[in-house]
Every structure is written in C-alpha cells, then in structure tokens.
Amino acid sequence: MLMCRLLSPNLTRDAPYSYVSHGCTGKGNDQVRFELAFYGLKPDIKVVAPWRIPGLSSHSSPIMVVYSRRSAEFYNRFPGRQALIAYAGEKKIPVTQTTAKPWSTDENLFHISYEAGILEDPNTTPPPDMWKLTTAPENAPNDPESITIEFQRGLPVRVTVPSEGKEYTDGVEIFLALNALGRKHGIGRIDIVENRFIGVKSRGCYESPGATILRAAHIDLEGLTLDRNVRALRDQFTTVEFSRILYNGHFFAPEREFITASIPASQRTVNGKVRLKLYRGNVIVVGRESAEVNVFLRTEALSDNHSCRVFTMSINLLWMNSVDLSLLTPPVSFKSSPSGLRSTSGFINSDC
C-alpha cells in the first residue's frame, strides 16, 4: 500500500519508459504486489524479473518475451541467495543478509518481516538476535509507561508521552514515536504460519511495534464511539475484504475503490482519547473518553435502582435497537448527525 502511494507520482500511463525490473523470485507475495501495482499504474509496462527466468528452457510468458536469450545468464550466474551474497561480498556491495543470518527480511516504517532459511521449519524457535525492531519482553523496562493517543475521525492526531514530556502530532512523528516506545517495551512481535497468495503455507515472523500500539488504541476507541451495527458490518465485510485485497496486491483494482468508499462513513464518530500502559510486550488500555458519548446519568438514586426505568426499556426493546435509548432519557443531549438514530448516543448509565 505504501509502495503504491510512492509509485504513483512516478509510474504513470504517460511515463516515458517501457520497462521496470524487480528482484523477486517466483515464490512470494511481493512479486504479485509489485507487478499488479506496475500494471495498475501503467498497463503497458513490461516487467523484467531476472530470477524468474529459467536458464535453459523458455517458459516465458508473452510479457517476458521481451527478454533476450542473454537474460538466462543472470540465472546461470546467480542460481540462489548464497551466490548473490558472495557476489556482494566480492564487489563490496553492502547488504544486511549474511551467511550467519540465513533468512530473508523486509523492513519499512510499518514493520519488518523474517522468513525462509532456518525459519522454514515452523517448529524452529527464532533465535533471539533475529528480532531487530523490538527488545524482548524479558529485557524490557520493569516500569510500565503510560501514554495517551487521541484520534479524530479514526486517525491518530496526538500522542502524549509524559515520561518524555512530549507530544507528537505529525503523522510520521507519531509513527516513529510509537515505534520507539514499542521497541523499548517489547511490543509487536508475531510468529505465524500464513497462506501465501500463490497457494503455499509459509512461516513468517514480524515486528510492528508502533502499529500494534495504534491498533490496540483504535479498536478500543471504536468500542466506545462506533455504532454497533456499523462496527459489525465493517468487521465482517470491509476489514476482511480489504485485508484480502491488500494482501494480494489488488490496490489498484475496482474492488479496492468499492471497499474503501465506505470507510470514512465508519470513522466519523471515532473521536476521543485512549490511555494506555505499555509493559513488557503488553498494550493495556486503562481508560478511554470521547465527547461523542452522551453525558452519563449519575444520580445515585437512579444508579442503585434497577427496575424503574429499566423495565420500560424492555418494553421498547425493539425500538431501542435502532432508535437509541436516549429517547427515553430526557437529560441526554443529542449530537447533531445526518442520521438521528443511534449514532453515538447509545451510552447510558447501565446501572440506573
């Protein structure tokens, strides 16, 4: 997705070049994502993928017939990862992969991934020094750290870190700050077996420290501020289908436009603050607030009285599902909203 955004200004239909190249093999998801992005931006672009060109035969697709016979030389010269690492060493080209760390990584602002090599056996525990972006929970500070994240329309707009005496409001700075906090507190490691686009299972390890913190806060705030039915639909359909689309690299496909069109409507009320405690791998929500939620009724008499208003609720249960309980509770003020039903005012004192 990030790549798609980065490519957009450069790879256009009118771009004055005809070829792009990438170093993917034919096994992974990235080849698919790269090429679908290329084609999406410039449908007549031609892709050169040297490592997918076999040495002796000519199983080339029509797109690949642009390759001359010479291109087989790449495959013959570098049949695999070790040959490339050796070449890099010989030519003093700096690469992070070494024979000592026999796995493949991809790192960006959002995360790092590790796969292949010794990780292919799903029963092999990753060595401690594999993880690059986070400290191990065991080595994280013994003191929890409290932070606050504020969202507007579902987007993080302010991260307050009292221990640093700082606030972050710029998008990239927020991400960098949360990455640093996640790293410090051992947050965001996962180790899973996934199903790649091309049909094989693959074991991958990932670190995404800042994103893990953001996601925990965002989900929590949605619990407070998002309409129940919107959330259910979003979770079951939008989230699932959007994830599938992105995983498979269909960013420039019509269904991506279709799916994303409804997201802003789901985030209009996701405004508020979430207070978090970070501690040795844990992101613990300790409180959340939002001006979207109506004033609570706190009269002690009501709060201790189970039946009076409550029973009248049962009578109107059907309507309440749509109309909002606040209809029945005069002191509750409504937020203005294009839709008067249930939008963000469904919160009442549940012990009245």
Please state, in angstroms and rounded to a whole number, the distance separating the CA atoms of residues 77 and 262.
50
By CB under 8 A, name the one of 57, 70, 128, 165 that touches its own copies.
57
The DSSP H or E segment spanning 287 is strand 282-289
Burial of 44 (0-12, 13-18, 19+ CB in 10 A): exposed
Please select the residue that binds its own copies; options are 43, 94, 128, 165, rule is CB under 8 A.
43
- C-beta closer to its own copies: residue 42 or 175: 42
- Residue 115 is a binding residue for its own copies (CB under 8 A): yes
Residues 87-106 that bind its own copies (CB under 8 A): 104
Closest Cα partner for 186 from 106, 279, 286, 108?
279
Whether residue 213 contacts residue 183, with contact meaning beta carbons closer than 8 Å, is answered with no
Please identify, using beta-carbon distances, which residue of 110 and 309 lies nearer to its own copies: 309
Query: For its own copies, which is the closer residue by CB, 187 or 211?
Result: 187
Of the candidates 205, 176, 174, the one whose C-alpha atom is nearest the C-alpha of residue 190 is: 205
19 near its own copies, rule: CB under 8 A: no
How near is the Cβ of 170 to its own copies at its closest, in Å?
26
Q: Which of residues 62-81 bind its own copies (CB under 8 A)?
A: 62-63, 75, 79-81
Q: What phi, psi does 114 have (nearest 5°)?
A: -130, 135
Q: Which residues contact 167 (CB under 8 A, 6 or more apart)?
A: 158, 159, 160, 161
Comparison of 3 and 144: residue with beta carbon closer to its own copies: 144
DSSP H or E run through 223 = helix 209-225
Find the binding residues for its own copies in span 228-247 (CB under 8 A). 228-237, 240-241, 244
Q: Which of residues 153-182 bind its own copies (CB under 8 A)?
A: none
The one segment of 152-160, 171-179, 184-192, 207-215 that binds its own copies by CB under 8 A: 184-192
Compute the chain's Rg from CA coordinates.
26
With binding defined as CB under 8 A, does residue 135 bind its own copies? no
To its own copies, the closest distance from the beta carbon of 168 in angstroms equals: 22
| DSSP result, 286-323 | EEEE-TTSPPPP--HHHHH--SHHHHHHHHTHHHHHHH
Binding residues for its own copies restricted to 288-327, rule: CB under 8 A = 288-289, 293, 296, 303-308, 310-327
Give the residue, chosen from 9, 94, 123, 129, that forms a contact with its own copies under the rule CB under 8 A. 123
- Residue 188 touches its own copies, criterion: CB under 8 A: no
Nearest-approach distance from CB 172 to its own copies, in angstroms: 26
Task: Kindly tell me which residue out of 15, 198, 215, 291 binds its own copies, with binding defined by CB under 8 A.
Answer: 198
CA 210/CA 149 separation, integer angstroms: 12
Rule CB under 8 A: choose which of 144, 176, 184, 246 binds its own copies: 144
Pick 175 or 268: Cβ nearer its own copies: 268
- Those residues with Cβ within 8 angstroms of residue 9's Cβ, 6 or more apart along the chain or in another chain: none
